[in-house]
Amino acid sequence: MDFPGPQEKAGLLLGSGPGVGVAGCFLKESSTPSMERWRGRLALVTGASCGIGAAVARALVQRGLKVVGCARTVSNIEKLAAECQSAGYPGTLVPYKCDLSHEEDILSMFSAVRTQHKGVDICINNAGLARPEPLLSGHTSGWKDMLNVNVLAVSICTREAYQSMRERSVDDGHIINISSMLGHRVVAQSDVHFYSATKFAITALTEGLRQELREANTHIRATCISPGLVETGFAFKLHDNDPVKAAETYEHIKCLKPEDVAEAVIFVLSTPPHVQIGDIQIMPTEQVT
């Protein structure tokens, strides 16, 4: 191990010199996180029509990536694409209509990406939904809806993204699952217990993916980002019959913004290829549970 000389020690104490000392460490300039290696490469973002997905898509386009944003309704993505172009962002946003509850739609999307854009370098599984279906009285159809989008679609997109990377010898790709703090603890709210179970599944799937990627001797990385309460339209879809209750969800504390989660995505992608971030748990400072 090399130890810093007198001038480097001064840098450690005074914050000057070729690096900056943090907690007794000497950081080289080359360790500074950067998104530069991703410029011009392709990221797939599911659920890109609103909320976190739209914020992530915008952040990536701002940093020079080509982004395929998919959703069942693409009008909002088309509007966002026009905004990004008008703003002069160096990347591009390509809207794509896809119903993630149907495997054939997902496979068709990946085929189109392969034909038109060669393939996927980053896959951000953001799309998700919740139905107010308690465990003791919920409808099976609602449970199936959540499983199809929150678990199966994530698994299918992950498999297809990995195959896309491998067939092009992409060894530095990244798969990011947008989960939830509800994938780490169960709250006393019966409406979200089944939804919480699907997010616990994502926690397990992401770690399982990380292990399989290691077994495959790749340097493709897997990360889970678990936000707490984010101010989006999520509560209004969950409580679509009670808009007052939905609005109250976001009124009692200062919530996260979609852009906060997008910044976490950028941080994860900007870390050096040898750095593996398994899970980021991010929640409002004022959130208790």
Query: Looking at residue 90, which CATH number applies to its domain?
Result: 3.40.50.720
**pLDDT score recorded for residue 17:** 44
Which tokens sit at 180? 């939830």
pLDDT at 251: 80
Instruction: Answer yes or no: is 7 within a domain.
Output: no
Query: Mean pLDDT throughout 231-256?
Result: 74
If you average pLDDT over every residue of the chain, what do you get? Answer: 89
Token code pair at residue 210: 């990380």
- H or E element in which residue 96 lies: strand 92-97
Q: 273 lies in which domain range?
A: 36-282
- 74 assigned to some structural domain: yes
For 143-191, the pLDDT digits (tens) are: 999 999 999 999 999 999 999 999 999 999 999 999 999 999 999 999 9
Confidence of residue 246 (pLDDT cuts 50, 70, 90): low
- Residue 6 pLDDT greater than 80, yes or no: no
pLDDT at 22 over 90: no
Q: Tell me whether residue 80 is in a domain.
A: yes
* Neighbouring-strand partners of residue 46: 70
In sequence order, what are the residues at sequence separation of 6 or more whose Cβ sits closer than 8 angstroms to the Cβ of residue 67? Answer: 42, 43, 44, 45, 48, 57, 60, 61, 91, 92, 93, 94
Q: How many domains does the chain have?
A: 1
Would you state the pLDDT for residue 231? 87
Per-residue pLDDT at 240:
67
- For the stretch 39-93, pLDDT in tens is 999 999 999 999 999 999 999 999 999 999 999 999 999 999 999 999 999 999 9
**Is the pLDDT score of 260 beyond 70?**
yes
Residue 253 placed within a domain: yes
Catalytic residue list: 195
In a domain, 6, yes or no: no
Radius of gyration, alpha carbons of the chain: 20
In a domain, 30, yes or no: no
**Is residue 19 scored above 50 in pLDDT?**
no
Is the distance from CB of 29 to CB of 109 less than 8 angstroms?
A: no
Residue 229 within a domain: yes
- 3 confidence band (pLDDT: 50, 70, 90): very low
CA dihedral 3, 8, 14, 15 (to 10 degrees): -90
pTM, two decimals, is 0.86
Span 184-237, pLDDT tens digits? 999 999 999 999 999 999 999 999 999 999 999 999 999 999 999 998 877 667
**Residue 89 located in a structural domain:** yes
- pLDDT tens digit sequence for 107-149: 999 999 999 999 999 999 999 999 999 999 999 999 999 999 9
Longest Cα–Cα distance of the chain, Å, equals: 70
pLDDT at 27: 43
Please say whether the beta carbons of 101 and 154 come within 8 A. no
